[in-house]
Structures are given as structure tokens and as C-alpha cells.
Chains A and B, each alone.
Chain A
């Protein structure tokens, strides 16, 4: 009560009213909240209730509640399966590969945008680099498949033109991760700059003026003024990315997957889809998915904690 009173103390009309009165006064706001609340309860918390089938032998005719408990059987089966380490390795290696290449590039591009004058050149580069973000994942996969086609693909032709031997990009497992990561870079680097540009717009111009007087070069000002200003934003983005590390580009991977590149392209989320929905192993697949979610949350909390200790920037 004390805390909430302090929160409204700025509003004199509400200062001395009881909790009930304050709720009643804005009863319509609860009506505003209702559709969203229902949505999140049904479609987000509802499935959380369904997680219990990870610990049961789910039989559709018995329902979620009626099925028998089996404890950690499905988890043990997953951890002991021969594909467990492959799935884990693929998921983590693709994620970190993507993070290593895809995370710094928007920052570099944003810093470069920030150096050039506002004019038609900057505007057109921005418009063009943002555009691929709006290409659907299906079309993106289609473009990748078409461009890398061994018989007629544009990229394969170009590599031949350079006098090199093109690889079997989509059927050679060794190439899958690179194809996945680089196409992602092409699609999302430009869009990723927006958030950093917003942060860069907050740089105090006086810092630059002072630095110029002191004879600092453009390069030095970029490294010592612009970059430090956006570090908090970079940290937050990094935490968010880490928290999502096992949930990576599932839709694109699923579209690019084929029987020949499977050993490099099968990740936890595509496996959950195949086992759960294609092969109807509901309980087992839910257990795998739960494992995925829990690892995600642990990663998120850990990275957030590290960020808090080392830089005072954190999500919470």
C-alpha cells in the first residue's frame, strides 16, 4: 500500500483515495486490458499448462490431465539418444557463428552511416539496406536455393567466372552454416542498424566539438565518443540475442533443410517439429522443447547477470 501510494502521489486527485476507489474509477481500463489478457492467458499460459505432458505418456483420448505420469523418462531418452550431441552442437555452433558475424556488422554499418552527411546518398543506401528485411522467409529460402543452384545459380556462375570450383552449397553439410549465416547477414544487417542509429542520435555534440578542438581525428572520435555512447544499447541487444540463442531462425532452417545437409542443419527446434508434429511423438517432443526453453532462460539470466556485474546495463 505504501509503495503504491507513493507511485500516485504525483496525482493529487488520487492521493487520498482507497485502493478500491482507485480501481473502480478506472474500471474501463480493465475492459481495455481484457482482450490482451485473455489472449496471453489462453495462447501463452495455456500451452504452459500443456508442458506437463513432457512428464507423462500423452494419449490424445485420455487428454492432458488424464494421461499417466512417467517422470523424466522422455528427457532421459533424449539425453541418451545418439543424435543428442549432434543437435546440441548444431544448435550452438550455428547460433554462435551467427552471433559472431551477424552481431557486430549492424554496429559497424550504423557507425559508418553516422559519419556521412544526411543526403541522397545516405538516404538511398539506407533504403536499400533496410529493404531485404521485408522479404518473407519463404522467398528468402527460394532465392538462396535459386542462386546456389549448381546448374544455373547466379552465385555459382559468378564463382565459375572467377575461375574457381563452386561447392555443392546446399547439399554439402560443410557449407550449410555459412549459407545460413551469410544469407541472414544479407537480409538483416541494414535493418539492425536502426536501433544503433537511434542510440547514436543521443551523442552530445559538445563532446565532438571539444574533441575537435583537442585535435581528435574522425576515427578517434568514432572510437572514443560514438562507440562508448551506444555500448548500453549493444549490451541490451547482446543479452536479448543470447536469450534467444536456441530459438534461432527455425523457419529458415526448416526450409533449407534437405536429407543431404541434415547432419549439419538439424537443430533442436527443427527436431521438435519433426518428432512432434510430423511423427506425432507428442510427449517426447514436448520434453525436447522444454529442455530448449529452460536452457534459453538459463542463458538469458546468466548473461543478464554478467552484464549487470560488469557494466551496470541489464534487462532487469
Chain B
């Protein structure tokens, strides 16, 4: 009895420290996110001087005004939406049928195809040969340079294949075949409707990666009008190109007087632009979290 008491006190202490640890993790990760949100609607003087440290101070929407009045950001937004939608559709059209075929044990040659695909995960031609290939195909400066070279991901094919293998009963496919159903019909009429979760997971994974991608556009696009949002963000956030050109269109009288200092304009637009570009993902994320987690889990329990 005495030992049991002692044990449980130790357990309590252990549990309390676990909660403290998790709360600390929560704080460390949450704070920068809240800070950005607050900074994006606070006066730049208060942000830069450190007076604003948690809640917004001297609330102003000028930052968002600058962001929304900037034609480059709108253009980037629009391009990103197109690249994301078209890119994701291509991804799905390549990934789903192939994963389904690879999940069928009566598909002769599946090991060979799987091997061919998996090998590319560990060895690649590298940056320059890939660039030369895209160039030779005449894709430079076209949206297809951002879509075709990433038309499928090995990892996602493995995840989808595992899903088809583990959740679609074999008997269902055999029954359909006996009833004279062709593979194409089977896939479109029976398999896909039963596989809504994996279609959602795949669309999300691919969609996020298109939305966040910047490197392919850096090397394959040279026409600024075609730049996706991330390239515009790179100019503003990383290269700090706060030139008259970037912010100029929005510097009308009232705003210009409010911000006599270029640095202040720069910092104001930065926080706003971070929020605006990340917002679509943040907005849908809590609703979709379940699917994302599901996707990672399906991938992790592969046999």
C-alpha cells in the first residue's frame, strides 16, 4: 500500500511534467504565429520598437491595404491558383490509376513497375540534367514546367497503393469481374467512389505542395507576369525588394504621409503578406487536419 502510494505520487509528478512540457511546446510554436497576426494590424512604430509584443497596438489596416493594392501580389495569387488547380488535377490523374493498378496482386509486372518507381526516390539525375531536359522539351517559361516535372510523387503513389490494398476488399473486385465488369468501369464506378478519403488526402498533399512551391518557378520562369505568389513573396520577404515598383502603386497620398519612412512600409507589408499568403491553408487546415494525419498514417503503416 505504501509503495503503491509512492508510485502514484511519482506518476503524478511525471504526468505534471509531461503537461508542462507540452504546454511549453504549445507556447513556443504558437507565439510567433500570434505575433505575426498582431504585428500585421499594429502600427509599425510599435512593432519595431518592441512596444507591441502580444496583442495588436494602435490597430491599423494599412498593411493589408498595401498588400491588396499591390498588383504583383494579386497577379501572383491568381497564377498560384491556376498552377495549383491544374497541377493537382494532373497529379491525381497520374497517381490514382497507377496506384490502383499497383495495388492489384493479379497485375503482372507490378514488382517491376514498383521497383522502377522506387529507385527514383534514392537516385536522381540531379539539378542540371533535369533543367536541360525541361529546356529541351521547350517548357521553359511555361506553366507546364511547374506541373509536368512534378506530375507524381513516389511517396504519394505508395500511400495510395497501400490504401487501395488495405481498404478495398478483394472479393468486391472479383465479384465485379465475374459480373463482366471491365477494369475501367470497376475503377471509375466502384473503386473511386469508395476511396473518397484517399482522393482527398492526395489532393491536399499535392495542392499544398503546389501552393508552397517556389524553386521550379525560380529556375524555369523568367517572365515576371507568370510568377506564382511564392516568387512575389520571395521578392518582398527575402530579397527585401521594397522598391517603388513593388509598393509604388499603393503609395497614394494618405498612406504615403502616414508612412514617411520606407523601412516602416517594408515591415508593415511583410507581416500582412505573410498572413495573406498563408491564410488559405490556415483557414482550411483545422477542417482538413484529420485527412492530412490520415494520409501520413496510411503511409507509415505500409507493409
Interface residues of A (CB under 8 A from B): 4, 7-8, 10-11, 13-14, 19, 22-23, 25-26, 28-33, 35-37, 39-40, 42-51, 53, 64, 109, 112-113, 115-116, 121-122, 124-125, 127-132, 134-139, 141-143, 145-147, 151-152, 154, 157, 160-161, 186, 189-191, 194-195, 198-199, 215, 217-219, 233, 243, 251, 254-255, 269, 272-273, 276-277, 282, 285-286, 289-290, 292-293, 296-297, 300
From B25-33, B66-74, B249-257, the one touching the partner chain is B25-33
Please indicate the chain A residues that have their CB under 8 angstroms from the CB of B33 in the complex: 128, 131-132
Please indicate the chain A residues that have their CB under 8 angstroms from the CB of B240 in the complex: 145
CB distance from B153 to the nearest CB of A (A): 10
CB distance from A178 to the nearest CB of B (A): 16
Which of A39, A142, A160, A292 is within 8 Å of B237, CB to CB? A142
Q: Which 10 A-B pairs have the closest CB atoms?
A: A47-B125, A142-B237, A50-B129, A289-B126, A36-B98, A136-B212, A32-B97, A152-B48, A28-B183, A47-B129
- Most chain A CB inside 10 Å of its own CB: which residue of B102, B236, B297, B300: B300
B94 within 8 A of A: yes
- Most chain A CB inside 10 Å of its own CB: which residue of B124, B129, B149: B129
CB distance from A117 to the nearest CB of B (A): 10
B55 within 8 A of A: no
From B81-89, B105-113, B193-201, the one touching the partner chain is B105-113
Residues A28 and B133 in contact, CB atoms below 8 Å apart: no
Residues B296 and A194 in contact, CB atoms below 8 Å apart: yes
CB distance from B233 to the nearest CB of A (A): 5
Please indicate the chain A residues that have their CB under 8 angstroms from the CB of B15 in the complex: 115-116, 218
B225 within 8 A of A: no
* Bound Cα distance from A18 to B212, whole angstroms: 49
Residues B127 and A289 in contact, CB atoms below 8 Å apart: yes
For window 205-245 of B, CB contacts with A under 8 Å fall at: 208, 211-215, 219, 230, 233-234, 236-238, 240
For window 96-154 of B, CB contacts with A under 8 Å fall at: 97-98, 100-102, 104-109, 113, 116-117, 120, 122-133, 148-149, 151-152
CB distance from B38 to the nearest CB of A (A): 10
Query: Which secondary structure dominates where chain A touches chain B?
Result: helix
Category for how many chain B residues contact A: 35 or more
Interface residues of B (CB under 8 A from A): 3-4, 7, 10-11, 14-15, 18-19, 21-23, 25-26, 28-30, 32-33, 35-36, 39, 47-50, 53, 93-95, 97-98, 100-102, 104-109, 113, 116-117, 120, 122-133, 148-149, 151-152, 157, 174, 177, 182-184, 187, 208, 211-215, 219, 230, 233-234, 236-238, 240, 263, 267, 270-271, 273-274, 277-278, 281-282, 285-286, 289, 292-293, 296-297, 300-301
Residues B122 and A273 in contact, CB atoms below 8 Å apart: no
* Bound Cα distance from A194 to B70, whole angstroms: 39
CB distance from B191 to the nearest CB of A (A): 11
Known: A44-B125, A116-B19. A36 touches B157 (CB 8 A): yes
- A33-B113, A128-B26, A135-B212 given; name 17 further pairs at CB < 8 Å: A26-B107, A28-B184, A29-B104, A32-B100, A32-B101, A50-B132, A53-B128, A127-B286, A134-B282, A139-B233, A147-B32, A190-B25, A215-B7, A218-B10, A219-B14, A277-B128, A297-B122
